[in-house]
Amino acid sequence: MPDNVLEVSGLHRAYGDVRAVDDVSFTLPAGGSLGIVGESGSGKTTTARIVVGLERADAGEVLVHGRDRTGRGRGRAQRLARAREVQMVFQDPYLSLDPRTSVEAVLRETLRLHFPGRDHAARIRELLDQVGLGTRAADALPRQLSGGQRQRVAIARALAVEPAVLVLDEAVAALDVSVQAQILNLLADIREQTPVGYLFITHDLGVVRCVTDDVIVMRHGAIVESGRTAEVLAAPRHPYTRLLLESVPRPGWDPGGIAAARRALR
């Protein structure tokens, strides 16, 4: 089995004359954590959606455990196989959960789809414990849960199929700071307990600093910088990466200077 659980090479995706993803390549080792950072419109979410299979690339390749998962096969078996390998956690868990369905039913339906014919009760209890909810949450509807609890349910649902890669698309952006920290700590614990690899899609360099080993910076659909997270954030080489770092609010923050730097990059 390859050391890299995910290998992405030469991805291209255009919408008319707009190149949303332009020759993007990267790898994710088993158990690794890679951040893709950039502003809105940088191509990071389109890249993630191609990896998961929600969009098709115009060119390029996505390999999971060395198997082609670029999305050319659209049959049910191919979709299920890809879903067992790559799962996604979205920014707003309330929109990704059926408001009429209890937590237990959400998990049971996922398990039934991928592992039919099994007794799933024990696995549901295990998943709830793994994400720090416990069985008391099993009967709750999404509206009865806090934002952090709903995101824990979304994470449990994604982990139910034991994926090789978990794609987290701004997964803590909608949460307040204290809850963000709880979810990030949970994800760190899960990474220690399982071989799952994380692909973090975010604009938040604080998240990148806390939870990723490596980072790629995207702008206008292309990668402008990549490397070990600590090294890139400590000594960014590209002006755009420096601009992102300078955009993080801090004492003495100068939004006028940021605007001037942004104009210079155009």
CATH number (domain holding residue 79): 3.40.50.300
Whether residue 99 is found in the same domain as residue 211 = yes
Average pLDDT per block of 10 residues along the chain, 266 residues long: 85 95 96 94 94 93 90 68 88 83 94 87 94 90 92 94 94 87 92 93 89 96 96 94 78 40 44
Residues 250 and 225 in one domain: no
Are 134 and 240 members of one domain?
no
- Is the domain of 202 the same as that of 240? no
DSSP 182: H
DSSP annotation of 26 reads E
Query: So what's the pLDDT on residue 249?
Result: 57
**pTM of the complete model:** 0.87
Paired residues of 62 in beta bridges: 8
Please give the residue range of the domain that contains residue 128: 4-235
Residues 155 and 69 in one domain: yes
Residues 244 and 226 in one domain: no
- The single residue listed with the structure tokens 């060395």 is 66
DSSP label at 216? Answer: E
Residues 89 and 12 in one domain: yes
With CA atoms as reference, report the closest residue to 201 among 49, 63, 66: 49
155 and 26, same structural domain? Answer: yes
Domain count, the chain: 2
> Hey, which residues does 19 pair with through a beta bridge?
14
Within 13 Å and on the Cβ side, how many CA atoms surround 263? 6
- Examine the domain organization and report whether 130 and 38 are in the same domain: yes
